[in-house]
Structure 1
């Protein structure tokens, strides 16, 4: 039967009807807007949502900028194929997250190159500058798609700094750093300018990793066995903000199968909002849930109950399942403790039943047989016949 709280909130038929007719824009003007904007079916709502993301949270020093993929295999004019992502196909979204908590601060849907427009150069640089707008004083952590010498200069002009891997084909890199042949294992080569530091580190023979930083100003190397530079250790500690958000959101998600890409984006918005709410709640209540291995799941359960509680209180239609009916009565009596205990999976055993002076009605368990009964369950108050009820004394009931 599923969780009773679902049926208590609304019938399944109504839920399917709402998801089928849900739209986020004016259909009459959609075709005209879509000629200029591929995201037109959800653009207005998306922009309002993105503006609210950073308002309630002050991020740590490090902010990760990376790409995310919302899995979707239906028809979409800007669907992307990313073989390294778990979903492979879907909607690519640029994201900026706090490197420590993975709180989402900014997002931007990648809709591809507009028709008739030349290929954009320095796309990564533009994305970082737009995603980091308003975050002066922070450090940007990015991968080699974004990192460049010019990006570091522009970020410094905006009072921000940068750490990121860099591709070996960048013209600003000296050849001594890009060629690993003949270098010793665990060796590091550094290059410096007035504003940038570049390191070439060899984790194994004939293989090197290149990093660029406007934060580090020396050739510091760790005391570990692999002699990794401090630049690389700093990058490894802070690079996973967006990837961690994707992993956490995929663990408990509200996504449902859909053939419409605006709904896929909408479900992802709800998942990100729920995680952001969890991060804020933990910041305000640091002692909440200590030692609980399922903190986020329990938070989502509490959040869901809080969202549907007012709707259940105003509901007039009586649900058919006994557990849902019992929960409805408890909610309408404002018994929040009962809501918490009965909104989980239905495990109702035999109920205590007794004769009640009431009009004879059809037994809820014998609807096909049209069997009338005057017995009503003392807990959920549904009509029930003798064949589907038991007699229980007061001692056993207590």
Structure 2
């Protein structure tokens, strides 16, 4: 063969080779089949490696001859193998720099040195001929920009991990959720239980006594539900930004608001609505920027995971809650529609957008030192209890280290990756002279990289541990198609909760987001248990939100003693109280709790424009 003639001409096989081979024959049996098994199918018979054409190959071969000899006697010993590789890499430095194929010469040299020390002369000549003629070593093998990862254009033939993408849980509502869901209100109680609302109720009553003193009357849970129900109804009617006076107006408002409570009572509750004790908040804020709502948030964020099992694909992405008020951790994100707001990181089911886990970003820690590997830490925290799923994320989170940690947890990953990452090979970053819709692939043992050029000058990079080859469907790789199909879990819930949001200031904006997500998660659970509910209607979520709001305000309307003045609101109150009187009683037995209201400073009574009585303060 031509290669053998060249090697013999350059005296690579010196006279002492037989003695070196005899010293290593005892170790040949240790050579695994995978290290010497190379397929002829991927060889290009017409390909002549550029290394053999290089004018500077004599320097490389001379360096190889001087290095292989003494190293071959000890290379098989484990304690000296790493030393040989380091010495070989440093030894070919001058030779590689004299030629045009530094990286290719380095690969060929290491392979030739390894095979010479572990094989016979005849086997060495055959394997060298096949190795040097493979595009894997001559053209398509390259190192990352950092030099610590070797990428290949040939997919790995190792079978995928059996534990990856094997889901042990059945997607959908859990048994606990199914056993507790009886109606729409019970579904909401699973996500916003009385234990959380009781904390808010105690803090609100404490704040009411601080602001109004003895004039404040204790607020009960029925009134709390009515207040939350009005917030939901305002979101259903897309009136969260509308003036309260307009909502309660007889001309432009809704009858259900006047039928539930007076406008003054709603404003008083909003004035003192609290989530913690204001007295010790400054001390807690020194170490926790989320101190104003930390207790409620920690209790609520643990509610969604036990109620729903996500499907095989989970999306991790950022969510920006629009807010331009004063907040110590308000963020500016120019890529988001709202630009300013409070940033959340959510892990959602890609199919249903069920918010499975969330975190609030509170900015840099005290001292102003940014956290290292924050994006990787957030993803690992959000996916802590997942197993066998595929995680889809964007270029803010995707990295080679994250891929390693997720594989350890039996999770795969698909995501876009930024061009400045050191683990990328430089060959994938070049777009010059590449045709439109062309794709390039690089692989390691368990990772795939794809570079796609959708239009001139644009390069889209994705990393995946889910895909094992470079399958192309139409004009796009399968990696990109799967990413597009599963990337919208968080964006979809962000769009849906914004359509019927009930948010009004920090920290209430966070609680409003909790209410919005709780309502949407309750909607997903309700459809999981009752898939045929309003099946032929297009706006099923709007009907669900309206029914939820009415279910929350109905108990308080049933106990209302002061009837509104407008005929339409009176009709609603009479109808609800009449249904309560004719049907099974749902009012609490025993003495009724006092209605929380503030005594008037004067006894002057005036009539508002909507015909309801009002108290002058």
What TM-score do you get using the length of structure 2 for normalisation?
A: 0.53
Structure 2: 5+ residue stretches without partners: 1-249, 584-607, 612-617
How much does 1:232 deviate?
0.3
For the Cα contact (< 8 Å) 2:358–2:382, is it kept in 1?
Answer: yes
Match of 1:229 among 455, 477, 491: 477
Equivalence for 1:162: 413
Equivalence for 1:189: 440
Structure with the bigger percentage of strand: 1
Equivalence for 2:396: 145
Q: Secondary structure at the match of 1:27?
A: coil
Q: Secondary structure at the match of 1:63?
A: strand
Q: Secondary structure at the match of 2:257?
A: helix
Equivalence for 2:270: 19
| Mean CA deviation greater in 6-15 or 329-338 | 329-338
Structure 1: 5+ residue stretches without partners: 339-363, 368-398
Equivalence for 2:348: 97
Match of 1:272 among 517, 524, 533: 517
Q: Specify whether residues 114 and 44 from structure 1 end up closer, same or farther in structure 2 by C-alpha distance, changes over 3 A only.
A: same
Distance 2:466 2:433 in 1: 29
Alignment of 1:267-346 (within 5 A): 267-334=512-579
For the Cα contact (< 8 Å) 2:558–2:580, is it kept in 1?
Answer: no
Structure with larger Rg: 2
How much does 1:242 deviate?
0.6
Distance 2:410 2:527 in 1: 30
Equivalence for 2:464: 213
How much does 1:333 deviate?
2.2
**Residue 203 of structure 1 pairs with residue 454 of structure 2:** yes
Distance 1:21 1:246 in 2: 28
Distance 1:182 1:126 in 2: 39
Equivalence for 2:489: 241
Q: Specify whether residues 8 and 204 from structure 1 end up closer, same or farther in structure 2 by C-alpha distance, changes over 3 A only.
A: same
What TM-score do you get using the length of structure 1 for normalisation?
A: 0.81
| Mean CA deviation greater in 263-272 or 288-297 | 288-297
How much does 1:335 deviate?
6.0
| Mean CA deviation greater in 26-35 or 289-298 | 289-298
| Mean CA deviation greater in 309-318 or 146-155 | 309-318
Q: Deviations over 1:283-342 (max 9, x none)?
A: 11212222312211111111111111111112222222222222112112226999xxxx
Distance 2:371 2:289 in 1: 17
Equivalence for 2:363: 112
Structure 1: 4+ residue segments shifted above 4 A: 335-338
How much does 1:102 deviate?
0.7
For the Cα contact (< 8 Å) 1:182–1:206, is it kept in 2?
Answer: no
Equivalence for 1:87: 338
Q: Deviations over 1:80-114 (max 9, x none)?
A: 11122121111111111111111111111100011
Q: Deviations over 1:194-221 (max 9, x none)?
A: 1211111111222211000110001111
Q: Specify whether residues 160 and 206 from structure 1 end up closer, same or farther in structure 2 by C-alpha distance, changes over 3 A only.
A: same
Q: Secondary structure at the match of 1:334?
A: helix
For the Cα contact (< 8 Å) 1:67–1:92, is it kept in 2?
Answer: yes
Q: Specify whether residues 337 and 67 from structure 1 end up closer, same or farther in structure 2 by C-alpha distance, changes over 3 A only.
A: farther
**Residue 54 of structure 1 pairs with residue 313 of structure 2:** no
Q: Deviations over 1:33-76 (max 9, x none)?
A: 00000000001101111000122111111111111111111110
Q: Specify whether residues 307 and 337 from structure 1 end up closer, same or farther in structure 2 by C-alpha distance, changes over 3 A only.
A: farther
For the Cα contact (< 8 Å) 2:502–2:512, is it kept in 1?
Answer: yes
Q: Specify whether residues 39 and 186 from structure 1 end up closer, same or farther in structure 2 by C-alpha distance, changes over 3 A only.
A: same
Structure with the bigger percentage of helix: 2
How much does 1:125 deviate?
0.4
For the Cα contact (< 8 Å) 1:183–1:206, is it kept in 2?
Answer: no
